[in-house]
Each structure stands twice: as C-alpha cells, then as structure tokens.
Chains A and B, each alone.
Chain A
Amino acid sequence: MKLKSFILGASLAALAAGSGWAEGVKVGMITTLSGGGAGLGIDARDGFMLAVGQSGRDDIEVVIEDDQRKPDVAVQLADKMIQSDKVDVLTGIIWSNLAMAVVPGAVAQGKFYLSVNAAPSALAGKGCNPNYFSVAYQNDNLHEAAGAYLTSAGYKKPFILAPNYPAGKDSLTGVKRFYTGELAGEVYTKLGQTDYAAEIAQIRASGADSVFFFLPGGMGISFMKQYADSGVDLPVVGPAFSFDQGILQAVGEAAMGVKNTSQWSKDIDNAANKAFVESFLAEYGRLPSLYAAQGFDTANLMISAMEKADISDADAFRAALKAADFASVRGDFTFASNNHPIQDIYVREVIKEGDVYTNKIVGVALEDRSNAYVDECKM
C-alpha cells in the first residue's frame, strides 16, 4: 500500500516535472489540401514538414487541417486549434481572403502567425501586428518587380491584365508603382475565367509591345495556352505564380522563354538552397515550387526562434523571430519594421531541362525590396 502510493506520487511528480521542462511548440497548420488549389497547400506543407524533419527536434508538434479554400472553414479550424488543440503558432494559409479572416483574430488572442504565402496589404500597413510575420513577401512585391523589369527592359507600351478582385487590383497597382510609362491597355478579367479569346484579340489590336499578366492557378494555364495559339507574338512578363514548378508542366511549350519575377528560384546559389532542392526532390520525388520554398523557410524561421527563446516567453520569442537568424534558401533575408521581408526579387526565364520545364535566374529586378506599407504600420 505504501509502495503503491509512493510510486503514484513519484509518477505524478515526474509528470508535473515533464510538462515543466519539455516545453515544445505546437503548430497549427491551416492550408488548402483539397479541390482546385490543393497543389499550393500541399507544396507549402511538404516544405514546412521537410524542415521540421531535418531539424531533428521532437518537441515540435504540427496539427494539419484542410481549409478547402473557404474562409469560414479556415476560421472554424483556427478556433478549434486555438481552443482545443492549444497551439502556439498558426501558419499555412495560402489565400489572402482566408488570411484576412483568420490572422487578426489569432494574433489578438496572443498567438503567433507565420505566413507561408498570403500577405495582403491590409496586414502590412494599418493592420500590422507584432505577432504576425510574413515569411514569403508582401503581396505587391512580385508585381512591383515585374513593373521594374518592364521599365529596365525598355518596354514602352505594355498591355496589363489581372482578375477583377482585390489581389488583381493590387497587382496592377504594384506594376504601375514601378512602371510609369504609357500603357497599351489595362484590363480586368472575371475571377475564374477560363476563356481569354476576347482579351487576346484586344491585345492583338492594341499595338502593345509586351504583355504583363497576373492570373493565378488554372486561369494562367488557360491564358498561356490560348495566347501561344493565337499567333500574337509579344514578350510576356508575369509574377512567378503562373510559371511555378507545380503549374509549369501543365502549360508546357507555351511558357518557354517567359520572364517571371520571384523572390526564390531553384538555382539561387547558396548552400541552404542547394540542400533544400536536393532533399525535397529526394523526399517527395518532384522539384520544389515557390510555395515549398516558402514553407521550408517558415519552418526554419520558427526553429531558429525556438533555439533562442522559449515560446512561453512571448516577448523573447517574438524578438527571436524578428532577428530572422536562419539560413534562408533565398540568401539574404531580414524583416522590415512591419514584419515583412526585405529581400532581392529576381527575374527568371522559363527553360526546359531534359523533359522538365523549369526556371533559371536571368537578373535581379529589385534589390533589397521592402514594401510600400512600412510607414503605415505603427507598432
């Protein structure tokens, strides 16, 4: 009897002590794993988990849920993860509208949010928060870089095109922030549109000398295939989204030679990136995409902070995140005062390596680019 209670007491003590010293980080990952946009979420998740696996730490627990690309589902998942799973860090959201639904609530409850992709301007400017870090970019960045490229490449009359929704309008604003010359035309298409015959005919008739388009996902695939078939032969520039590894094989020959802007490319020359590309290929049997690189960097940022500070000390953990003391696959990487990256944005060209379509860097569009909303952020 005495022995029994002794053992019981000892094990209780051990349990109590256990929760005291092994303070790990519990991560809630909400991302798109089903439906049309699943490729993006899967790549971000795989990149993130690859970094967690490589860290060799057993004190990171990741809860992964599918948001089905629906804001209401994402909000429910965030509530569940915060209230019943008791996560410390949230991450994973791909789409800006979902981020707008989840991030403000999560950071208001004292959780950290590390964005693997979505970075709407509202969260970079007035709505910035010390607990919200965008690891990928600010949404406007790649479009700004495309505008800068149009200017530096000497185009005089680009035709610019984006879907008629907030990110599409931000895109064309971003382009015009760095390209201030004459435009041959400016067209907003319907979100989810699949047939671009009407727009391509307008491009042909407009006397443009180049085409910029931002049409993420299937829209971009459709546009490029139809554009290549139309006989219009103007150079095309766009952000990386329509020319990324996951999508490029579906566009095929039509994408060859297109210039696109990206903060990452598989041929950025640094040790971390080489190791990442090789290990991703070995682990998953495909080349990593932009989203995979962003997921990988996000996990490594979090791990670098865990090495310096305990998550229970929020101020120290936040400072450790802000220091961004990790080997980014993008090379130089720091945070601006509004917790968005300062980084180089490259111009890539679509090439073919053997049977696989991929990108190579042909120049730098913007060096050490921060973002347009830094001054609006007061924190």
Chain B
Amino acid sequence: MSSLLLIEQALNGLQFGVMLFLIAAGLTLIFGVMGLINLAHGSLYMVGAFAAAGVSALTGSFLLALVASLAAAAMAGVVIEMTVIRRLYDRDHLDQVLATFALILIFSEGTRYLFGSFPLFLDKPEWLSGTVTLPLGIEYSLYRLTLIGVGLALAAGLFWMIARTRVGIRIRAGENDREMIGALGVNISRLYTLVFALGAALAGFAGALVGAIQSVQIGMGEPVLILAFVVIVIGGIGSIKGAFIGAILVGLTDTLGRFLLPQLFALFMNPSEATSVGSSLASMSIYLLMAGVLLFRPKGLFGEA
C-alpha cells in the first residue's frame, strides 16, 4: 500500500464528509431551532436530485439543474413546513417521527407517480468530467474535487451567515430560547419556515450534486438520512460546528475503514476471510465511532451539556 493511495482515499473521505455535512447541517439546524426530528429530510435530498435530473433532461444544462434542485427542495420544504410540520412543534418526538415518516412514504410514492419507477439519468457536465493530476502525481476525479470545493465554500458561507448576519443571530437566539425571542417580537413562525427552507435547500442541493455520480432513484434519501443522524449525534445535536466535524469524521472513518480494515486483517488471516471480516467490520465502523464518542461525551462532541 502506497502513501499516495492513502492520500487519495483521504480525499475521497473528505469529499464524502463535506457532502454529508450539507445534509446534516439542515437536519441539525431544524432540530436545534425548532426541536423537531425530521425523518423526511432524506426525501428533500431525493426531491433535489429528481428536480435536477428532470431539468437536466429538459434543458441539458447542469447549472440550471442545480438551481432547480435548490428551488424545488426549498419549495417542498416550505410547503411541508406550512401544512404539516408547523403542527408538530409543540408535540412530542414520537408524534414528529410518526408524521415525518408518513411524509417519507408520501414523497416516495409521489415521486414515483411523477417520474416513474425506473432510476433517472443525471450526469455531471462535460467540463467537470475526467481527472486532474494533483501534486505528488495523484490522479483524481475533477468532479469529486469540485464537490470538495463547493462543499467547503458552502460550509464557510453557512458559518458566516450564522455568526455574522441578523438571520444568524435570530437562529442562534432561537436555539437558546424559543419563547424568549418570540416575546421579543421576532416573527417566530416566519423564522421557522425560513430555517426549514434553508435546511431543505441544502439537502436538495447535495442530492443534485451527489446524484450526478450516483443513482437518482426512489428511496435514495433514506440511507443518507441514517448517516446524517449519526453525524449530528456525534457532533452534538443542534451544533453546526459539530455537524461539520462529525461529517468529516464519519466520511474519513467510513472510507478509510473500508480500505484499511480488510488489509489489516489480511496480515494474519487468509485473504478471503480477511476480506469478509474486514468489510463486515468496516460497515460497522461509523457506528463504533458513534458509540465511542457517546461513551466519553454523551451529548456529542459539541453538544451543550
């Protein structure tokens, strides 16, 4: 195993991590500000990918497709917030889980009704195809490199917005004391809709970006949703910073685990068994990471005690 391969795998892990962050950021914001567990967050990711695939098929433009994914996911977010989610803020988590699970089913079958049962085609644009040669002679996919760049830029933008803008102040205030900022005259229901739309748009955008190198199909959001929950639990529920660190940790652990664990077991087992045992353990690695973090920090890395 060469160190170049290791660097390449670390880049892969980073790319996976920043995409996870885009999804987990919305989930953690919504939980932090509104106290809502939104299982339908994965569906918004799917909505973004399908909107992008649809627009890309119609217009052939990847940039328009990305705009469509942002718009469609934000719109879907606003609609479900105003019709369903709004009624759930004061209810307990079990009701929220039940209602948002119903939303998953409605979104899945609704999408199937609109787009059919077969996976859709969405490809990256020509100008982002192929590979680039990085320093040290690492050959790396240009599109994945772009994903890392876009993801990091969005993360920086989000931190800036939350730390420096008026909306950001309100979001932070909302996390600290919901009743109080309402009493201070902030239009709380508009803030909630805004936060929900923002989270939805980020998820939809991630869906479109990732959809270009994965499969755009019904149910694509659920596996990602589980990972996003792992991320926010590791990072501390409600913390954007935690979501970022958690996402990168999960991305790196998963990718490097898949790569290194089978090789580790191959040192003292026969190759076939090592592959089998190593990959089984790799599938568990992020959950082991989560359990480990929770053992020492029960509220997550950046959770408020």
Contacts and interface: CB of A to CB of B under 8 A. Distances in A.
A190 interface: yes
Contacts of B130: 229, 231
Contacts of A247: 118-119
Interface in B172-206: none
Contacts of B121: 249-252
B123 A249 contact: no
B144 interface: yes
Contact of A188 (B8, B109, B275): B275
A221 interface: yes
Nearest to A221: B215
A253 B12 CA distance: 23
Given A192-B223, A197-B15, A197-B16, A202 B118 contact: no
Interface stretch (A33-41, A50-58, A71-79): A33-41
Interface stretch (B21-29, B277-285, B289-297): B277-285
In this complex, the interface size class of chain A, counting residues with CB under 8 Å from chain B, is 35 or more
A221 B123 CA distance: 11
Contact of A205 (B5, B280, B282): B5
B217 A34 contact: no
Interface stretch (B64-72, B89-97, B238-246, B255-263): B255-263
A22 interface: no
A187 interface: yes
Contact of A164 (B13, B216, B283): B283
B59 interface: no
Contacts of A16: none
Interface string B247-276: 000000001101100100000000110011
A230 B130 CA distance: 7
A34 B107 CA distance: 12
Given A188-B275, A198-B9, A250-B216, A34 B141 contact: no
A36 B218 contact: yes
A229 B143 contact: yes
Given A198-B259, A201-B259, A250-B120, A36 B276 contact: no
B54 interface: no
Contacts of B272: 186
A151 interface: no
A104 interface: no
Interface string B113-155: 0000111110110000111000000010101100000000000
Interface in B2-20: 2, 5, 8-9, 12-13, 15-16
A267 to B, nearest CB: 21
A195 B214 contact: yes
Nearest to A41: B117
Contact of A35 (B108, B118, B120): B108
Nearest to B124: A229
A225 B123 contact: yes
B219 interface: yes
A222 interface: yes
Interface residues of B, number: 51
A325 interface: no
Contacts of B299: none
Contacts of A187: 262, 275, 279
B279 A229 contact: no
A197 B18 CA distance: 14
Interface in A226-241: 226, 229-231
A242 B143 CA distance: 23
A203 to B, nearest CB: 11
B275 A35 contact: no
A253 B129 CA distance: 12
A197 B12 contact: yes
Nearest to A225: B213
Contact of B12 (A164, A186, A198, A219): A198
Given A201-B5, A218-B220, A225-B213, A39 B119 contact: yes
A38 B218 contact: yes
A189 interface: yes
Task: Name the residue in A38, A229, A247 with the highest tally of chain B Cβ atoms < 10 Å from its Cβ.
Answer: A229
Nearest to B133: A231
B170 interface: no
A216 to B, nearest CB: 11
Task: Name the residue in A186, A218, A246 with the highest tally of chain B Cβ atoms < 10 Å from its Cβ.
Answer: A218
A192 B13 CA distance: 17
B214 A222 contact: yes
Given A164-B279, A218-B214, A42 B117 contact: yes
A210 B259 CA distance: 20
Contacts of A231: 130-131, 139, 141
A205 B2 contact: yes
Interface in A156-174: 164, 169
A180 interface: no
Contacts of A219: 215
Interface string A247-259: 1011111000000
A197 B223 CA distance: 17
Task: Name the residue in B119, B120, B124 with the highest tally of chain A Cβ atoms < 10 Å from its Cβ.
Answer: B119
B49 to A, nearest CB: 11
Contacts of A152: none
Contacts of B117: 38-39, 42
Nearest to A247: B119
Given A164-B276, A229-B144, 14 more contacts: A38-B112, A39-B118, A39-B119, A42-B117, A164-B279, A188-B279, A189-B279, A190-B283, A197-B9, A218-B214, A221-B119, A225-B215, A230-B131, A253-B123
19 contacts: A35-B108, A164-B280, A186-B275, A187-B262, A190-B258, A190-B283, A192-B223, A194-B223, A198-B13, A198-B255, A198-B258, A221-B119, A221-B217, A222-B215, A226-B214, A229-B141, A231-B131, A246-B119, A251-B121
Interface of B: 1-2, 5, 8-9, 12-13, 15-16, 108-109, 112, 117-121, 123-124, 129-131, 139, 141, 143-144, 210, 212-220, 223-224, 255-256, 258-259, 262, 271-272, 275-276, 279-280, 282-283
In the A-B complex, the 8 residue pairs with the closest CB atoms: A218-B215, A221-B215, A36-B219, A197-B12, A250-B119, A38-B117, A222-B214, A231-B131
